Structure 1
Amino acid sequence: MLTLVISLPTSTRRQEKISVRLQAAEIAFVMLMGVDGRELSASEIKSFAPSRFMARFRRPILAAEIGCTLSHKLALETFLASEESTALILEDDAVVPANLRQAIASLLVHLPGDWGLLKVGGIGGVRGRLLLETAVGKIVRTHATTVCAHAYVVSRQGASQLLRNILPIRFPYDIYLRDTHVHGAKAFEVVPTLVAQEDLAGSRIDQGRIENPSSSEMRSMLAYFAWKLGYEIRRRPHVLKIMGLSAAVAPSRITRHS
């Protein structure tokens, strides 16, 4: 398994901390220098995100959020250029447990041959169908993963599917990862989560979101409702197809495997 850690050249302290953690977990890794959104030109931003306004959040997408997506795009492409069959992709603020390598190995053996994405780190509730309870945690076949993109495993098929619709950038990468009906990768998540994330108080993205709250203008609200209608029209059939009627009707529940 290839392990890639996404970082920025200036984030030396984070690089030092996660290096120590991965060494303790006996995981060999590659430190991958990502894209700093602050260094993108206006023309580059326009090419990657032609419509910067996100109706679902009623605000423009941040340059840092664009940089985050491009960094994960680079990680997926780097993986596919290798000869490895799976990749663990981490952000440099991931808190890696000492048993992560063994835990992931024990989870992967239970996944079907066409799996694409296994989230091992995230914040929020997991929605989907319980596949199996293991010593590591519950494996859930999910139609909507948790948010945050600091720790996930992909197969070659999954990486290809994630890359297929990653551009143009329409919303933050962790939301793209969550919306399985958009990228189409067969997604699973372990509950409880294995990889935590350090305090986000100093995150440039988090700070940018605080400084750019959702607009309450009527035009923004109308755009949101139009987006929401289209979103549900596309999402509900996807949930129904892969999860069944109960999940489509009550998508916030984890249903038992049948």
Structure 2
Amino acid sequence: MLKTYVINLDRASERMAYMRAQLDGQSFAYERIAAVDGSKLKPPIPGFDERGYNLLHGRRFHPGEVGCYLSHMEALRRFLGTDCLHALILEDDGALPADLAAVVEEALTAAEDWDILRLSSVSHGHKFPVRRLPGGHELAVALTREKGSGAYLVNRRCAEVFLRRLDPMRMAWDIAYDTEYLMGLKALLMMPLPVSQTGGPESQIQIHNHLYKLPRWRYLTVFPWRAWVETNRVIHRGFRLLTLKWLYRRS
């Protein structure tokens, strides 16, 4: 059983209309999550660690990023309030394929291989295929950071672990949930990526990022953290890549 959520600000009705036009033709129902409006948040904010955010992310309070993060966490809570086994979480700016339902069904045939499956990314690093799916897509491992959180599938274990380990917020959502390997979770990408984050409405967060960056000297705390995270990413995902390559070497 699958639940589908679309994260959308109340004041972004045009973006919801954009998503509705793409989803209404699909064979599954979806539920809108009223996104947390960061512009209405005033520190201190429950679920937001401002000191940790400054130290690990190198930015001052960014209302858009905080609202986005809290919205994704709410989608996970909503999912765990159901008896469904998987959730498809969508932001409201993705260009969806006309056969999204079939793509999701194809992904679920290999649900034993992942706790979280990315269906979109805004990064261009090399992805290493490990398993071919019946519909022609492939599952792949990324050894570099994958940014963007426009579309992804999660199972219940992933939702439970994220809600426990990623609260409070200390970095942007797409950076935080891309450290799943530090939490004992399995992540893969679906290739070619079914959902594009470049063909829809302009991001409401990224265009203002430069306004919230802290002085360069403050990155003295950020760089060691990033180096540790990236080193662990290569080690953990590299080992998983080799394991899956061996497991599916005949496919």
Work out whether the TM-score is over 0.5: yes
Please give the alpha-carbon distance, in whole angstroms, between the structure 1 residues aligned to 2:59 and 2:200. Answer: 20
Structure 2 residue aligned with 1:99: 99
Structure 1 residue aligned with 2:40: 39
Structure 2 unaligned blocks of 5 or more = none
Structure 1 residue aligned with 2:180: 180
Structure 1 residue aligned with 2:228: 230
Please give the alpha-carbon distance, in whole angstroms, between the structure 2 residues aligned to 1:242 and 1:11. Answer: 40
Please give the alpha-carbon distance, in whole angstroms, between the structure 2 residues aligned to 1:16 and 1:102. Answer: 22
Over 3 Å counting, the alpha-carbon distance change for 1:239 and 1:121 in structure 2 is closer
Contact 1:142 1:188 in 2 (8 A): yes
Answer 1 or 2: which has greater strand percent. 1
Q: CA RMSD, aligned part only?
A: 2.9
Contact 2:50 2:61 in 1 (8 A): no
Over 3 Å counting, the alpha-carbon distance change for 1:215 and 1:184 in structure 2 is farther
Identity %: 25
Please give the alpha-carbon distance, in whole angstroms, between the structure 1 residues aligned to 2:160 and 2:95. Answer: 27
The TM-score, its normalising length taken from structure 1, stands at 0.83
Equivalent residues in 2 for 1:108-257, closer than 5 Å? 108-112=108-112, 115-125=114-124, 129-134=128-133, 135-142=135-142, 146-198=146-198, 202-213=202-213, 215-216=215-216, 219-232=217-230, 234-239=232-237, 241-244=239-242
Structure 2 residue aligned with 1:29: 30
Over 3 Å counting, the alpha-carbon distance change for 1:161 and 1:14 in structure 2 is same
Structure 1 unaligned blocks of 5 or more = 246-253
Contact 1:126 1:144 in 2 (8 A): yes
Over 3 Å counting, the alpha-carbon distance change for 1:126 and 1:109 in structure 2 is farther
1:128 deviation in Å? 6.0
- Return the letter of the residue paired with 2:123: G
Contact 2:5 2:75 in 1 (8 A): yes
Cα offsets for 1:63-99 (capped at 9, x unmatched): 2111111000000010010111111100111221110
Contact 1:130 1:257 in 2 (8 A): no
Over 3 Å counting, the alpha-carbon distance change for 1:121 and 1:168 in structure 2 is same
Structure 2 residue aligned with 1:251: none
Contact 2:131 2:140 in 1 (8 A): yes
Over 3 Å counting, the alpha-carbon distance change for 1:184 and 1:215 in structure 2 is farther
Over 3 Å counting, the alpha-carbon distance change for 1:240 and 1:155 in structure 2 is same
- Return the letter of the residue paired with 2:229: Y
User: Would you say 1:19 and 2:17 are equivalent positions?
Assistant: no
Moved more, 170-179 or 128-137: 128-137
Contact 1:49 1:170 in 2 (8 A): yes
Structure 1 residue aligned with 2:64: 64
Structure 1 residue aligned with 2:74: 74
**How many aligned positions are there?**
247
Contact 2:144 2:233 in 1 (8 A): no
Please give the alpha-carbon distance, in whole angstroms, between the structure 1 residues aligned to 2:38 and 2:192. Answer: 32
- Return the letter of the residue paired with 2:159: A
Please give the alpha-carbon distance, in whole angstroms, between the structure 2 residues aligned to 1:123 and 1:255. Answer: 29
Contact 1:89 1:151 in 2 (8 A): yes
1:48 deviation in Å? 1.4
Contact 2:8 2:32 in 1 (8 A): yes
Contact 1:138 1:192 in 2 (8 A): yes
Please give the alpha-carbon distance, in whole angstroms, between the structure 2 residues aligned to 1:54 and 1:184. Answer: 26
